[in-house]
Amino acid sequence: MERLHDIDRARTASPVPEERRVAIVREAEVLRERMLAMPPVPFYRSLALTTLPYPMRYGLRDASALPWPYLMLTNRVFVVQFHPFGLDMAVDRTRVQTLLVSPTDTVAARQTPHFKRIAEAMGPLQSIVEPLVARQTHTVETALHACGLGPADIDWLTYDHLHTQDLRRWLGSAAAPALFPTARVLVMDAEWQACHGLCAPQRDWYAPAGIDGVPAARVERLDGSVLLGEGVALVATPGHTMGNHSIAVRTPEGVFVTSENGISADSYAPRRSRLPGLPAYAGATGMDIVLNGNTLEGALDQYLSMHLERALAGPSQRADGLPNVVPSSELTPTWWAPGLTPTLWWGELAFGQVQRPPHLGTVAPAA
């Protein structure tokens, strides 16, 4: 992998915040042009895992004009195949590596204090209420099977941040073997370090013991942005958490950028949004970004990071004025919160054909 120093240095280019923003956007545009000069990755697919309620006051902050206390988010896993670099940093087109983005262990994630507290508050009504407001579409295993892949095919896991994530089942621990026999997780060092000593505002959103006992050899700790291979970059975007990063992938529709800094493409262009309240909020405050802020570890950094993501993604082909930002957890229309229909809803995406190493045989895709 190639270290992307220039885009990270832009964050310290000036003590003046607006000058830093301009420098960050400039370097993001340079990286975007570089990625657009690359061919699309061989395979890209997103699949829904769970759809669940999320507080409006976090997802859209002060921007929404609707009274609903909750909105709905769909959490997705992304399966990306790409050509890696060889020892001489030339692209090795004889090999394909497979990256899983945001593979959430949905059972373990229920132990996240915020969600566990909500479930316990329902008491005996939980079994009645939960199926009405939340649903599971896939597990990580069935999502892989739907792509014609198995655990042995996976080279890398990554998450834009580690809220709600429990890695022990995927990578192994003292208590259980790993489901993915050879995969390693790519994580910013700042995020990994933070998980070893969370403060109270952070703890509500992290799965307890989610990284305990994970072998060090299965963890690739990054000290900044990297080009992972042809058409795939992991870009440091701190703010939502201390070690947040965004996943940029070259697709046939341009560069798709994924994180949870914003919960909708609308969050990156509120003046162009049809969501009630967002254009008026942007006009009244000058905020051209709507933060997803449940912990607000670094709101200004997150604001700058979302400008980076918007510039790196560039314009969408699907909606005029909105960017190619595909959230890892996306605002989803629901019957019990009318009016919360995003201007651009990505849903599930699929490009290219999955490739499997010949010696691993064939896994039939699920019906």
> Are the C-beta atoms of residues 48 and 74 closer than 8 Å to each other?
yes
What pLDDT, on a 0 to 100 scale, did the predictor assign at position 115? 78
> For 149, what's the count of Cα atoms within 13 Å in the CB-facing half-sphere?
27
Whole-number CA gyration radius for the chain: 20
What pLDDT, on a 0 to 100 scale, did the predictor assign at position 362? 45
Sign of CA dihedral 190, 12, 296, 272: negative
What pLDDT, on a 0 to 100 scale, did the predictor assign at position 364? 43
Q: Which of helix, strand or coil describes residue 201?
A: helix
CA distances to 45, 52, 155, 198, 352 from 55, rounded to whole Å, are 28, 10, 34, 22, 36
Residue found under tokens 């042995």: 152
Bridge partner list, 100: 79, 157
Q: How many angstroms separate the CA atoms of 366 and 360, rounded?
A: 18
What pLDDT, on a 0 to 100 scale, did the predictor assign at position 293? 86
> Are the C-beta atoms of residues 58 and 70 closer than 8 Å to each other?
no
Torsion angle defined by CA atoms of residues 107, 113, 115 and 116, in that order, rounded to the nearest 10 degrees: 70
> Are the C-beta atoms of residues 262 and 327 closer than 8 Å to each other?
yes
All structural domains of the chain, each given as residue ranges with its CATH number in brackets, are 2-353 (3.60.15.10)
Element (H, E) at 44: strand 43-55
> Are the C-beta atoms of residues 96 and 153 closer than 8 Å to each other?
no
Token pair in block for residue 43: 């395979």
- Main-chain dihedrals φ then ψ at residue 267, nearest 5 degrees: -65, -20
Which residues in 135-173 are b (16+ Cβ under 10 Å) and which e? eeebbbeebbbbbbbbbebbbbbbbbbbbbbbbbbbbbb
Q: How many angstroms separate the CA atoms of 209 and 206, rounded?
A: 9
| 118 contacts: CB under 8 Å, gap ≥ 6 | 53
pTM: predicted TM-score of the whole model, two decimal places: 0.91
Helices (H), 44-188: 56-59, 113-122, 126-133, 140-146, 168-171
Tens of pLDDT along the chain (367 residues)? 999 999 999 999 999 999 999 999 999 999 999 999 999 999 999 999 999 889 999 999 889 999 999 999 999 999 999 999 988 888 888 899 999 999 999 888 888 888 778 777 777 766 666 666 678 899 999 999 999 999 999 999 999 999 999 999 999 988 889 999 999 999 999 999 999 998 888 889 998 888 999 999 999 999 999 999 999 999 999 999 999 999 999 999 999 999 999 999 999 999 999 999 999 999 999 999 999 988 878 899 999 999 999 999 999 999 999 999 999 999 999 888 889 999 999 999 999 999 876 544 444 444 3
Bridge partner list, 330: 74
